[in-house]
């Protein structure tokens, strides 16, 4: 179990599309004494261990000039669809490797592989976020080349992933116009810790009660350094600005 947010991570599976399960199990059945006096320090210890691993991941990415993007959002915002379209339209000029985080299934990794990029699926079981150790193992399986993008699609959740540094270069939070425009102030930690905010599904604006400028205003109250992209993955509107930004990251 994760000592920070309380989610269960007793059984984590990391696998490539087409591979059988490779389970990283932390289960143990031996009798032991639980020292409850240590529980107060558990959150600090978990985050410290994670941050050390994140520093190692970041050093690896920097040494190989890999741009690692941690994509975070609530479920259904369009993370995987954004990746699919991006890979299909940019893979001739840019190299992408993808880590997919979900509690169950290989669905997203299979979609990314079909789009044309190597992918690893991390199934977290009861876990509600990825951590730096999971990412390190997945990166080793992918073995990315220099001057490439490592895209980490985190588990759909606007709370727990905000606490865990994965060693990413940038954190990208995605919100769709079908969600409430006050998401940034309801979930401030995620928006405060992000570098980029993508507002997706702009094609639906005529049909929903969503004010883009209000959303930006709320987000800037939390983090005035945010860079925004407004786009529709379905229609392609606004995607070129996102592509220009990606191209500017590889030096």
194 assigned to some structural domain: yes
- Over its C-alpha atoms, the chain yields an Rg (Å, rounded) of 18
167 assigned to some structural domain: yes
Q: What percent of the chain has pLDDT over 70?
A: 86
pLDDT (tens digit, 9 = 90+) per residue, 102-134? 999 999 999 999 999 999 999 999 889 999 999
Among the residue ranges 14-28, 33-47, 124-138, 204-218, the one predicted with the least confidence is 33-47
The number of distinct structural domains making up the chain is 1
pLDDT at position 33:
52
Task: Kindly indicate the confidence band of residue 26, based on its pLDDT and cuts at 50, 70 and 90.
Answer: very low
**Vertex 147 angle, CA 144 and 152, to 5°:** 50
Which residue range(s) make up the domain with 215? 11-17+39-249
Dihedral class, residue 44 (left if φ above 0, else alpha if ψ from -120 to 50, else beta):
alpha
pTM over 0.85: yes
Torsion sign across C-alpha atoms 101, 195, 243, 239:
positive
30 assigned to some structural domain: no
Contact at 8 Å (CB) between 13 and 123?
yes
The number of beta carbons lying within 10 Å of the beta carbon of residue 248 is 8
pLDDT (tens digit, 9 = 90+) per residue, 44-64? 678 899 999 999 999 999 999
DSSP state of 123: E
- E strand or H helix at 241: helix 239-249
CA-CA distance, 79 to 90, in Å (whole number)?
16
**CATH value at residue 193:** 3.40.50.300
Mention every residue, 6+ apart, whose C-beta is less than 8 A from residue 203: 232, 234, 235, 237
25 assigned to some structural domain: no
Mean of pLDDT over the chain: 91
* 119-123 vs 11-15, strand pairing mode: antiparallel
238: helix, strand or coil:
coil
78 assigned to some structural domain: yes
CA-CA distance, 157 to 209, in Å (whole number)?
23
What are the start-end ranges of the H helices in 156-235?
Answer: 183-186, 188-192, 212-222
27 assigned to some structural domain: no
N-term to C-term CA, the chain: 40
9: helix, strand or coil:
coil
Q: Sheet containing 196-200: which strands, arranged edge to edge?
A: 23-25, 11-15, 119-123, 96-102, 149-153, 67-73, 170-176, 196-200, 227-230
* 96-102 vs 119-123, strand pairing mode: parallel
CA-CA distance, 78 to 27, in Å (whole number)?
34
Length, in residues, of the chain: 251
34 assigned to some structural domain: no
């Amino acid at each position: 179990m994760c000592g920070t947010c309380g989610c269960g991570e007793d059984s984590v599976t990391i696998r490539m599309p087409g591979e059988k399960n490779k389970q990283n199990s932390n289960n143990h059945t031996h009798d032991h004494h639980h020292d409850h006096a240590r529980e107060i320090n558990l959150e600090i210890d978990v985050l410290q261990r994670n941050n050390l691993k994140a520093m190692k991941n970041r050093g690896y990415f920097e040494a190989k000039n890999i741009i690692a993007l941690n994509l975070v959002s609530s479920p259904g915002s369009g993370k995987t669809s954004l990746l699919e379209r991006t890979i299909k339209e940019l893979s001739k000029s840019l190299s992408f490797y993808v880590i997919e985080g979900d509690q169950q299934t290989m669905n997203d990794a299979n979609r990314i592989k079909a789009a044309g990029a190597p992918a690893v699926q991390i199934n977290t079981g009861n876990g509600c976020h990825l951590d730096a150790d999971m990412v390190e193992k997945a990166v080793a399986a992918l073995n990315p080349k220099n001057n490439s993008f490592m895209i980490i699609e985190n588990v759909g959740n606007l709370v727990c992933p905000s606490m865990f540094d994965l060693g990413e270069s940038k954190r990208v939070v995605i919100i769709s116009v079908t969600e409430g425009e006050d998401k940034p102030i309801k979930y401030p930690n995620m928006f405060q810790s992000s570098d980029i905010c993508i507002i997706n599904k702009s094609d639906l604006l005529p049909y929903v009660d969503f004010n883009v400028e209000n959303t930006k205003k709320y987000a800037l109250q939390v983090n005035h350094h945010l860079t925004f992209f407004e786009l529709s993955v379905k229609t392609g509107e606004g995607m070129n600005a996102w592509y220009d930004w990606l191209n500017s990251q590889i030096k």
